[in-house]
Structure 1
Amino acid sequence: MTSEAPSKEEIVQHFQNLCGQQRQMQGKLAELRQEKGEHELVAATLKDADSDRKAWRLVGGVLTERTVGEILPALEEQVKGLADIMEKIQTAMNEKAKEITEYREKHQIMVKGMAASGPATGSGQGKSGVLVQ
Structure 2
Amino acid sequence: MKRNLYGSIKAMPYTSGTAVDRQGYLSAVVSASVSAAGTLAVAVTECDTADGSFTAVADERVVMGRNLSNISVVNDELMAVELDLVGCKRYIKVTVTPGGSAAATYALVLGDPTHLPVEE
Is the shorter-chain TM-score for this pair beyond 0.5, marking a shared fold?
no
Q: Give 1 or 2 for the bigger CA radius of gyration.
A: 1
**More contact order relative to length (CA 8 Å, sep ≥ 6):** 2
| TM-score, reference length from structure 1 | 0.18
Looking at secondary structure, tell me which structure has more helix per residue: 1
| TM-score, reference length from structure 2 | 0.19
